[in-house]
Amino acid sequence: MSLRIVVTVKYVPDATGDRHFADDLTVDRDDVDGLLSELDEYAVEQALQIAEAADDADVTVVTVGPEDAKDALRKALSMGADKAVHVEDDDLHGTDALGTSLVLAKAVEKAGYDLVISGMASTDGTMGVVPALLAERLGVPQVTLLSEVTVEGGIVKGRRDGDSATEQLEASLPAVVSVTDQSGEARYPSFKGIMAAKKKPVEAWDLSDLDLEAGQVGLEGSYTTVDSAAERPARTAGTIVKDEGEGGKQLAEFLASQKFI
C-alpha cells in the first residue's frame, strides 16, 4: 500500500529583508519578498528521503497563505514532491497558530495521509507549536523536533535532542513528525526538477472546501490580540577599539567597569 506523506510548508518574508508590521498589526507581506521557510526545506528533504526508501510513496506539499505562497509550493515541487495543495482565502488574513493548525488539520485530512512532516518552526513567527497542535487536532502521535528520522513497517523512529537529554522516539503511523535543521542538508532543485515542477498539479482549496467558516480563522477567529508593535530603538553606538597589542586588556577594563569582573 502506498505511503501517503504530506509536508506542511510556509511562505515567509525573507529574514534578511526589512520586516515590518502592517497597520492591523499583522505581518506586512507586501513590503518584503517571500520564500519557502528555510526550516521547511528540511521537512521536504526528509519526506523525499522517506519516500525514496519506501516501496511506494507519494509526497504532497500543503501550504496556507496568499497568492504568492504558490512560490513556496513550486520550490518544494521542484525539489521532488509529487503534488501540492494551496489553501487560499481572503478570510485567512491574520490567522494565528491555533487557526493555522485547524486549517492544516482539515487540509491534511482531506488530502489523505499516513505521515505529516513539518519543519521545527517557521522563520517568521518562530513559535514552533504547529506540529504539536496538528497532532492534537488529528489525534495521532507527535514525533517532533527530530534530528534523525526513519519510517519502516508502519513505524516512525527518530532522535530528539532535548536540553537535558537525547531521546530515541517511536510511534505507529499515522503520525505527525517535525524535523530540525540537523536532520540533513536539503537538496537543491535540479534544472530537470524545476521544469518538471511546472507540470505538477497544484490544487486550490478555500475555506468552504474544508468545511470551515470565516469566523473560525483570520483576525476574527484569533485567540490572541496584538495591542502594539514598536520598532526596537537602535542601539547607541558602542566603543570600538583596534587591537594593537592591548585589545585584551582594554576589553578586561571595560568588563571591569561594567562589574562583570
Partner 1 sequence: MAEVLVYVDHVDGAVRKPTLELLTLARRIGEPVAVALGAGAADTAAVLGAHGAVKVLTHDASEYADYLVVPKVDALQAAVEAVSPAAVLVPSSAEGKEIAARLALRIGSGIITDAVDLEAGDTGPVATQSVFAASFTTKSRVSQGTPVITVKPNSAAVEAAPATPAVSELSVAFSAQATGTKVTGRTPRESTGRPELTEAAIVVSGGRGVNGSENFAIIEALADSLGAAVGASRAAVDAGWYPHTNQVGQTGKSVSPQLYIANGISGAIQHRAGMQTSKTIVAVNKDAEAPIFDLVDYGVVGDLFDVVPALTQEINTRKG
Q: Do the Cβ atoms of 210 and 95 come closer than 8 Å? A: no
- Smallest CA-to-CA distance from 149 within 140, 158, 162, 160 is with 158
The interface with partner 1 within residues 230-249 (CB under 8 A) comprises: 230-232, 235, 238-243, 245, 247-249
40, 45, 96, 114: which one binds partner 1 (CB under 8 A): 96
The interface with partner 1 within residues 140-179 (CB under 8 A) comprises: 140-145, 147, 157, 160-172, 175
Q: Do the Cβ atoms of 133 and 101 come closer than 8 Å? A: yes
Decide if residue 24 touches partner 1 (CB under 8 A).
no
The stretch among 51-59, 86-94, 138-146, 190-198 that binds partner 1 (CB under 8 A) is 138-146
CB of 8 to partner 1, least distance (A): 15
Decide if residue 110 touches partner 1 (CB under 8 A).
no
- Smallest CA-to-CA distance from 46 within 167, 132, 141, 145 is with 145
The interface with partner 1 within residues 196-235 (CB under 8 A) comprises: 222-232, 235
Kindly state the cell numbers that stand for 219.
483576525
The stretch among 44-52, 61-69, 137-145, 206-214 that binds partner 1 (CB under 8 A) is 137-145
The stretch among 16-24, 73-81, 106-114, 208-216 that binds partner 1 (CB under 8 A) is 16-24
CB of 83 to partner 1, least distance (A): 28
Residues sharing a CB contact under 8 Å with residue 139, sequence separation 6 or more, in sequence order: none
Kindly state the cell numbers that stand for 22.
502592517
- How many angstroms separate the most distant Cα atoms in the chain? 70
Q: Do the Cβ atoms of 168 and 157 come closer than 8 Å? A: yes
Q: Do the Cβ atoms of 11 and 37 come closer than 8 Å? A: yes
Smaller CB distance to partner 1: residue 51 or 133? Answer: 133
* String of contacts with partner 1 for each residue 55-94, x by CB under 8 A: ----------------------------------------
User: Which run of H or E residues covers position 71?
Assistant: helix 70-79
- Smallest CA-to-CA distance from 107 within 19, 36, 212, 27 is with 212
Size of the residue set binding partner 1 (CB under 8 A): 81
97, 107, 117, 197: which one binds partner 1 (CB under 8 A): 97
CB of 198 to partner 1, least distance (A): 31
- Smallest CA-to-CA distance from 100 within 124, 81, 84, 80 is with 124
Decide if residue 21 touches partner 1 (CB under 8 A).
yes
